[in-house]
Amino acid sequence: MSMLHKFHGGVHPPTHKEQSTRTAIATLPIPAKLVIPFHQHVGNIAKPLVQVGDYVLKGQLIGMPEDGISSAIHASTSGTISEIGMQVVAHASGLPDLCATLLPDGKDEWIPKTGMDFRSAAAADVRQVLRLAGVVGLGGAVFPSDLKLRAGKHKVKTLVLNGAECEPYITCDDMLMRERADEIIKGAEIMRWALEAEQVLVGIEDNKPQAIAAMEQAALASTDDIKVVAVPTLYPGGGAKQLIRVLTGIEVAAGVRSTEKGVQCFNVATAQAIYRAVQFGEPLVSRIVTITGNVREPQNLEVLIGTTVQDVVDYAGSLPDTDGYIMGGPMMGLPLPGATVSIVKAANCIIASSPKIFPAPPPAMPCIRCTRCAEVCPAELQPQDLYWFAKSKEFGKAQEFSLFDCIECGACSYVCPSHIPLVQYYRFAKSEIWSRESEKNSADAARDRFEFREYRIEREKQEKAEKLAAKEKAAAEAKLAAAKLAEAQAATSVTPPPMTEAQAKIQAAIEQAKLQAAAVKPKNTEQLTPQQLAEIAEIEARRAHIHELASTDTEPPNGHDKNQ
């Protein structure tokens, strides 16, 4: 057995895991109503494919993954879509997001499912299947799994399966490993194949002996090199970087992805979801949720995505002094805005809180710089300094002190003798920095657009001026050319130019026309009175006179006028 390594710091909070591991995983009956958010994953919100009134089957695609980082959303059971609109979701803000409300018909009828033999398929096809099956990281990070299964430019040597489940109260992975170890191992085989990894390490904290035994048993049946390793129980040993450190000794530095070091890490429940999606064509429509804390029967339930927290709590038996619900564990979990929000893919645990279980924290006192937080920080940061910078809103300094390496595990707040809510400060500073960055980016974009517009207006003006100048120049040139031509003609027209062939033809045509005109006899020239004859004679004489004048007094016309 390979030697285990250690990560810095860590704490030992009471685990409270035994309450919810007494009974096997039960399946929650189909509730009366499901509220399925379209944004349950990291990245872009899925695009709704259904309309109000549509009848959907279990596993039917209702949200199409958008470009880039995104994942699919499915109907969790068969029924009718009764509403698509904004509803409060499980988010720290308590703000509404786009959800589909599904009224189940109770038949729980699946869409036609088709599994695939991954070994004879292309890895890209398997990834596409996972994308459309909506498989995301079920440890709580909900990052689309297909994107993590890409063998990029760095060769992944080791695949780490995370079964550590270090947070108090949560036991969903523990129960899953106990009961469905073979499915997890088969999922691990698919992942190892897609990543072309050499070995698989399954890290499980040593407070779960039954899960370790079940996983070891299942791993024996596999032809792959899958090793189940018991790791010491120490919070936050289930953090991806911490588990990688413990299992392989590899330190994943700030801003570096673990794949660059040849390691990729997945949660065990994700492995099982990948197996169901690839082998049976079953999209992710349910997950195991631990319901614990202030309930009558703490346990693990297989819950359809979209079930309201209220339904889950009612099944476990709610108790009267419950004053709120936490999604996740007590260290990193987020208080829910109410019991009406629904179970999403990230919801591994629901803790009903009561003043008895989580008494109100004692009032905070000033930081005395005891550095106990620095001693327990698994990311080897200086939490007391980060607190100082975040408090005084010196975000640049906070970034210099590697604020973004903070995994928000809460170990610092846990040991703080002054009970300062340190993680809240770090979250505030992080989101402030992100929003400033995005503001700066949009300001830069606005500047570029403004400058381009100025440039375009200037260019158009210039083009117009150039066109006008070109036109004026052309007109002036034409005038000059005409003047020159006329001058040249005036110089040569002293003697009439010899008749060309064309001019001769024109002359001939004119003569013929004259003859024709002479040949036509006026019709009304008969029986004229002597008076009329006299008038005609007079007119004829005048005409003859004009003709005479025209042919003798004036010079023969020399072509055309100068200005013509």
Nearest to other proteins of 63, 237 (CB atom): 63
Per-residue exposure over 401-423, b if at least 16 CB sit within 10 Å of its own CB, e if not: bebebbbbbbbbbbbbebebebb
Q: What secondary structure does DSSP assign to 58-82, as a single string?
A: BT-EEEE--SSSB--EE-SSSEEEE
- DSSP at 119: G
Nearest to other proteins of 234, 336 (CB atom): 336
Structure tokens at 91: 């988010």
Nearest to other proteins of 95, 490 (CB atom): 95
In the block, tokens 């614990």 appear at: 292
Within 8 A by CB and 6+ apart from 428, the residues are: 390
Q: Which residues in this chain contact other proteins in the complex, by CB under 8 A?
A: 39, 89, 91-93, 95-97, 362-365, 421, 424-425, 427-428, 430-432, 435, 439, 442-447, 449-454
Is residue 301 helix, strand or coil? strand
Nearest to other proteins of 14, 362 (CB atom): 362
Nearest to other proteins of 93, 493 (CB atom): 93
389, exposed or middle or buried, with CB in 10 Å at 0-12, 13-18, 19+?
A: buried
The one-letter amino acid code at 552 reads T
Distance, in Å, from the CA atom of 202 to the CA atom of 542, rounded to the nearest integer, reads 129
Rounded to a whole number of angstroms, the minimum distance from the CB of residue 82 to other proteins is 22
Rounded to a whole number of angstroms, the minimum distance from the CB of residue 88 to other proteins is 10
The Cα-based distances of 341 to 87, 299, 305, 307, 437 in angstroms read: 8, 20, 11, 8, 31
Distance, in Å, from the CA atom of 368 to the CA atom of 418, rounded to the nearest integer, reads 8
Query: In the sheet where 334-335 sits, what is the strand order?
Result: 26-27, 299-304, 286-293, 349-353, 324-327, 334-335
Nearest to other proteins of 365, 485 (CB atom): 365
- Specify whether the backbone of 516 is left (phi greater than 0), alpha (psi in -120 to 50) or beta: alpha
Structure tokens at 193: 């194949």
Rounded to a whole number of angstroms, the minimum distance from the CB of residue 351 to other proteins is 21
Rounded to a whole number of angstroms, the minimum distance from the CB of residue 43 to other proteins is 11
Rounded to a whole number of angstroms, the minimum distance from the CB of residue 436 to other proteins is 10
Planar angle of CA 260, 265, 270, nearest 5 degrees = 145
Rounded to a whole number of angstroms, the minimum distance from the CB of residue 224 to other proteins is 40
Nearest to other proteins of 435, 507 (CB atom): 435
Distance, in Å, from the CA atom of 165 to the CA atom of 454, rounded to the nearest integer, reads 58
Nearest to other proteins of 217, 435 (CB atom): 435
Rounded to a whole number of angstroms, the minimum distance from the CB of residue 408 to other proteins is 11
Rounded to a whole number of angstroms, the minimum distance from the CB of residue 391 to other proteins is 8
Nearest to other proteins of 127, 430 (CB atom): 430
Rounded to a whole number of angstroms, the minimum distance from the CB of residue 421 to other proteins is 5
Nearest to other proteins of 255, 362 (CB atom): 362
Rounded to a whole number of angstroms, the minimum distance from the CB of residue 57 to other proteins is 29
